[in-house]
Structure 1
Amino acid sequence: MPLTTTGELMAEARAARTAVAAFNVITLEHAEAIATGAERADRPAILQLSENAVKFHGGRLQAIAAATSAVARASGARLALHLDHVTDPDLLRSAHPEGIGSVMFDASRLPYAENVKATAEAVRWGHERGIWIEAELGKVGGKEGEPPLDAHAPGVRTDPAEAAAYVADTGVDALAVAVGSSHAMTERTAALDHELIAALKEAVPVPLVLHGSSGVPDQEIRAAVAAGMVKINVGTALNTAFTGAARAFLEAHPSAVDPRKYLVPAREAMAGTVAHFLGLLG
């Protein structure tokens, strides 16, 4: 099936008052598992390649993007390709030749005025090429290379009035907001501020994005979607499933050396996790 776009999936989800899930790709097995899980759930999904994943592949986007795109095109599910948490302008500009339809440009570490300026420039560049741009305001925390951040600390959450001004000044197509989740959580214990989500939905005209959803319990995700979240990002939960299944196989078969033997259950575990998260949004 031809690739769809993040913007199209988001518009459909928003109109239906539901959400679309976006899953991080690190290896080919991740992409295959996401496609399989989406087919099982009979739901669309977004395959995301983060800047850190590109660094894992030697800083070269082309090969992993081409492989991920090929998996998506061969799938019976409606799938989009997205580049996530991009801080490097050169990586942003490399998205267009690879057929990536959307980018999350992350200037959230910069002071507010610099964030606005850099993001507005990214939006102008993207829109000239038909690329949909997501940005982040607030501090979700938990990203690789950052110090630990309490998702409930004062000043961390996204302010609705500031969010409205930020969207107006940058022209972004979607906004990732800090409402109580954190990246890289391996336990699903995050408590979200659903009143803040509803206030942000009223304050900004663009779809809201929840990063760090791996650490959010099922009922919290459902409530977040009901309050206004439109894109639900999942990464660590796939890695937890992958590593757990691979570890269990290798512990049971300590003499195994063929990686296919443990990659099959690892990929299957990820596919089950994808189907589960997509099922929450039905």
Structure 2
Amino acid sequence: MKSFVSNILAPYFNTEKERLSLDQLQECIWQLDIWSVHASLEFRTWMFDNYPWIILDYVPGGCTGLWQPCDVGIQRILKLAVKHSQQTAVVHEVSSQLQTGINACDVTLDTTLGTLRNRVPATLVNAYHSINKPQRIQKASYSFRYHNIVSPDNGLQAFELCRSGEFNLSHLSLTSRPLRVILDNLPQQDAALAEAISAPCKHPTTDDSGTRPNSAMVMNEGGFTEPVEDDVEVTLEEVCEHLDGGGAPEGLAEVNGGLQLGSAAAEGDDVEIPIAANYGLGRGK
């Protein structure tokens, strides 16, 4: 984590501050999972001592699918693109063997390390091209409207898929007048929350219960929640449409947040299909 911050995160923030002509001490927000290593006293102390201008914003456990942009709009598409590449490789391997006259029952898949390793570059390149679409990340094709506000700047539309109630993580929503009104009224409506938001960051200590992540919400490594899974037969376009709130396309069903073929959805719901007690096995049966 320290290497990531020093070699990737901090240089990126500094480059962006330079590009935007901001002061080098301009504070930046880093949104991260509430894993135990992220929330540890050692890591938070190191961050405060070396990068006090980076504010740690923890996503509560179980909420990454709602409030973390990569989970919501990027990784789901990435995973499906990888699935498509893997399926294509397997179909090609099986078809090649069948074309040589091998009996279908004798077809085998090469799962040796060398073969799997050689397939990785093509899989990664295909996944890269699938998600390297600014219009997908920023949703430039969608005019974000909020309380009759229409954004002419596509760059302000990033992260709008991360929604909570009326608001989302897009720049336009976070800087909108309705949200500013809520923040202005916060000291009267919730003084404790207002103070927690506006209080300056303090050096982490073993007794910083008021500023450290709630221990009940800290997730230990290995405690992953069930990920959203899309059937390999689902297209990337259908997933993008679903992400945009278009509902499940025809022939597909939504299961645990992901898209599945109608038949797969029925299996997932443990639908029991009655079978006759006496039946014979034979061709076509």
TM bin, normalised by shorter chain, reads under 0.3
Q: Is the radius of gyration larger for structure 1 or structure 2?
A: 2
* TM-score, normalising length: structure 2: 0.24
Which of 1 and 2 has higher RCO (CA within 8 Å, sep 6+)? Answer: 1
